[in-house]
Structure 1
Amino acid sequence: MNYPIVRHRRLRHTAAMRNLVRETRLHPDDLVAPIFVIYGQNVKTEIASMPGVYQWSVDRLDEEIAELAEAGIGAVLLFGIPEHKDSVGTGAYEDEGIVQQATRRIKELAPDMIVIADTCLCEFTDHGHCGVVHGQGREAVVDNDESLELLARTAVSQARAGADIIAPSNMMDGFVAVIRAALDEAGFEHIPILSYAVKYSSAYYGPFREAAQSAPQFGDRKTYQMDPANVREALREAQSDVDEGADMLMVKPGLAYLDVVRLIKESFDLPLAIYNVSAEYSMVKAAAMQGWIDERAIVMETLTGMKRAGADIIITYHARDAARWLRG
């Protein structure tokens, strides 16, 4: 059955026809908006490398939450910038920590808004690493097992503040098992874990480190985040988290790792998130500001591609705009 009997263009002839046979559907319910919260009063500071993204003080969160809700966004991912940092990230697990305060405020403003708490120490440590560090300079080592105790404390504190989902991003071995046990022991067995199961040591995180003030003060994170060249390792990482009790999995970053998204989707039956990270956002915004690209068309094509690759959930700084475009 070949041309001229088979004409593939028949199903592309009109917009209505294309809509009828469209295979991949993007919806505002698929989108999660990251939010950066910071101490202070009346703070709304635009992040220079991420136009349109801001650091918010808790007292001004009502503006952001109202806009996201109006656009149809039903979930946010919280990152906190503490007032003081120390070597063990105390601000991450204090009951009055910035993420805990913001969580309680968001639940007051919008009880049905899902609050996902990023569970890591890097924004809260004075060295900028995602765990406890022993030694200095080239001798410095991130202590995996000692870090787990602090991450568990952080997760319980976030759940106690009202977080709906705990999202550990630290890439320590065994973090899902330890956090799951701590949540269960504290009476939060109903709180799911969205594991950053496959998180690469990526150059695409640059603008985020400005936004979250979380750049390492020495070295890098290559001893705990994944080598971008590896894909079989992604399967091992994800399998470990599934075995330890993860409820959802994540691949981060997005665009350069769509093959990994597809592999994880085909290998596991848990909901899968993808993180459309800061540099992916910033590159689009920069090109759009120069008039080189159609921002709306590029964003929608990118997010649709992520959904087509297998993502059920898309964490993106474009969330508010994309939701508005989807709703017409």
Structure 2
Amino acid sequence: MSANDENIPEHCPGPASEDAGKKDACAGCPSRTFCASGAGKQDNQEAINAVTNRLSNVKNKIVILSGKGGVGKSTVTALIARQLAASQSDRNVAVLDIDICGPSQPRVLGVLGESVHQSGSGWSPVYVEDNLSVMSIGFLLSSADDAVVWRGPKKSGMIRQFLADVDWGSLDYLLIDCPPGTSDEHLSITSFLSNAGLTGAIIVTTPQEVALLDVRKEIDFCRKVGVQVIGVVENMTEFVCPRCKAKSEIFPAVTGGAKEMCADLKIQLLGALPVEPKVARAADEGSDFLSTVNEESLVKKEVKNIVQNVINFCEK
């Protein structure tokens, strides 16, 4: 499928707001009559069934969210995925990048320029390691500079294809890297996974209040659509000078940061990652940061702690 494909139905995949009785949320929508006829819900149920069947061999399905852009969500997703795959060789992990307009995972995971192959069983994801694969619209564009100028319904159709038409095989973890906010992509992914056993959500933030304000909205979104919050990862908590070991707050936690917010909202703080320039460099280069540093690395220690907390949650 190309970015110019016009075959995706131009109607809402089934707004959660209608089911919740908040009908005024759909006021003015050109597809409201279509939805009211029942055809929209029928199509949506067919998509949900197709996704459920395809993902029947995926044990844990985790969405990774952020309220605000620029908090390092895609980098954190890649770090978690690499650690999950590296810590146990028979553990199969995949990353699905549903940030349709700003796909980052092909570059961050070092597979930029790879092609997606299609077989009788569907699209094949691109493999980073023997037990780590990724799928992204970035593989379907003719150039990394191409802009995807789509409205919500086409994004929804693309997400459905990623979930239902990719041959994911048997997976222990499917990490779904979402765009910032609480909009079309988020409603689509939670709707399509409603019968597939969505494990929960990991929310990424930075310490300052301007980011935490949006994270609270993200948590409220999860509660409204029935997605359990696994926990919060605070990224860029502080900078530790590699020479003198002095600590500096790049983003001051004036209200107590994610730790205080999690305590208030009774949510687990999965971990806090310090600022590490080598992580940003590895993301740009597509290299595996975790394999290039020793066990004394503060980032590596914290990533291991975060991943263990996620595993503990999933195995409960």
TM-score in terms of structure 2 length: 0.35
TM-score in terms of structure 1 length: 0.34
Higher helix share: 1
Higher relative contact order (CA 8 A, sep 6+): 2
